[in-house]
Amino acid sequence: MRRAVCPGSFDPVTNGHLDIVGRSSRLFDEVIVGVLINQSKQGLFTVDERIELLREVTACYGNVRVESFRGLLVDFCRAQEASVVVKGLRAVSDFDYELQMAQMNIGLAGVETLFMPTNPLYSFVSSSLVKEVAKWGGDVSAHLPEPVLARLADRLRSAGA
């Protein structure tokens, strides 16, 4: 079985993330969306909330599942019996960082990295940018799946943003 991992923090999941997951689901028998647990960063959404949202917005793909992980990505890949990591690249600046990670991953555990260019519609979209624009009342509806947009609006309202 050809199995791949799409890792990230997904705080929140964007249409750009979903584009990469959906395209990956056509290339692999199974895609595991790996939600990184990073205890040194306080996210807008908890890991459990991110997993719930991801499961909701990826439910249309029969071969995608969502799991959380902490520690090294290669250890998660090994535990999931996945030999490939799929990373979306928005710009050359993404490549500089991701190439180093890919080289480390192949050296540590033989895990390959597939770089997938982002759809130009999403080339400038990041979770951080979406949160910042939404916090100041900007319209981010074109960049988020509807369930995520609703949860983001609720979260920002309750936070007093």
In the residue annotation, 131 being an active-site residue is answered as no
Catalytic residue chosen out of the listed positions 17, 50, 131, 143: 17
Catalytic residue chosen out of the listed positions 3, 23, 78, 90: 90
Q: Contact 134/97 with Cβ under 8 angstroms?
A: no
Contacts of 99 (CB under 8 A, 6+ apart): none
In the residue annotation, 151 being an active-site residue is answered as no
Catalytic residue chosen out of the listed positions 40, 41, 93, 158: 41
10 labelled binding-site residue: yes
Q: Contact 64/58 with Cβ under 8 angstroms?
A: yes
Which one-letter amino acid corresponds to residue 80?
A: Q
In the residue annotation, 24 being an active-site residue is answered as no
Strands 64-69 and 84-89, by their bridges, are unpaired
115 labelled binding-site residue: no
Catalytic residue chosen out of the listed positions 24, 127, 131, 143: 127
In the residue annotation, 135 being an active-site residue is answered as no
Token readout for 50 is 């991110």
28 labelled binding-site residue: no
123 labelled binding-site residue: yes
Strands 64-69 and 30-36, by their bridges, are parallel
90 labelled binding-site residue: yes
143 labelled binding-site residue: no
Name the binding residues for ATP: 9-10, 17, 88-90, 98, 122-128
Name the binding residues for substrate: 9, 41, 73, 87
Active-site annotation, residues: 17, 41, 90, 127
